[in-house]
Amino acid sequence: MRVSVIIPAYNAAAYVTKALDSVLAQKEMDAQSMEIIVINDCSTDDTDAILSAYAQNPAVIYIKNEQNLGVAETRNRGIRMARGHYVAFLDADDWWETDKLCAQLDLLERTDAPLCASARMLHEPDGTATGRVIEVPERVTYEELLHTNTIPCGSVVLKTEIAREFYMSHAELHEDYILWLQVLKKYGAALAINKPYLHCRLSAGGKSRNKFKSARMQYGVYRHIGLGRIKSLGYMCSYAINGVKKYYGRIRK
């Protein structure tokens, strides 16, 4: 099997259908080449009823956490279950373009890179496009990633064996960012396709929307990976500058 798609879902009844349908619509993918692991993290809305209807699809594996684990540990549960050579991540309120997986898998298999990301288009909570695309460099090194996180989690396709080497940790910080840093430090540069294959729904309660909280978490990541205070503050300056460029830069009409 080529890829296991991991979708954590918590109170996602309003959005998860769009996310799942976008994965099931992936070109060149079927139940023999792709599995979709959807994990209900103790939702209290109608998420279970919606996901239960998808469980009849041979490509979909639907499971429920016995207790609320949070998004990081829920993704880790999916990583442990994965049968694909690669794992891909998608949040339940986001969705993909139909050619995302085949483009990224082809690139990974041609280059043997550890990880592939893509650009993303931002949407309002109701799904309306903001017109803003956050672009990505086509090659990202560990040093470059320290200056700003250019790897959106919902765009990532990663070798499963590497994901299992590190898993996601420290959910109080940016757990996905820590994982990318660990991967790039050991295995070299990540690749990315500078096309908005990921459609990302902005959420008022998301970690990244509270910029002060996000900045504290970013500093926490630097300290967690062993950087000293002065070096961490230096990278924080780059983080702030790049954050302005990222969210207030190019708009596509």
The domain total for the chain is 1
**Who's near 9: CB < 8 A, 6+ residues apart?**
16, 38, 39, 40, 41, 43, 47, 51, 92
Judge whether 75 and 6 are in contact, CB under 8 Å. yes
What CATH number does the domain containing 230 carry? Answer: 3.90.550.10
pTM score, whole prediction: 0.93
Q: What share of the chain is helix, strand, coil (3-state, %, to 5)?
A: 40, 25, 35
Query: Is 253 domain-assigned?
Result: no
Tell me if 156 is assigned to some domain: yes
What lies within 8 Å, CB to CB, of 201 at 6+ separation is 15, 93, 94, 123, 124, 125, 127
- Whether 106 is in a domain gets the answer yes
Q: What is the pLDDT of residues 157-173, one digit of tens each?
A: 999 999 999 999 998 99
For residue range 98-123, list pLDDT tens digits in order.
Answer: 999 999 999 999 999 999 999 999 99
Q: Is residue 211 part of a domain?
A: yes
* 217, two tokens: 């978490």
Identity of the residue numbered 159: K
Neighbours of 113 (CB within 10 A): 20
**Which domain, by its residues, includes 19?**
3-248
Mean pLDDT of the chain: 93
Strand, helix or coil for residue 157: strand
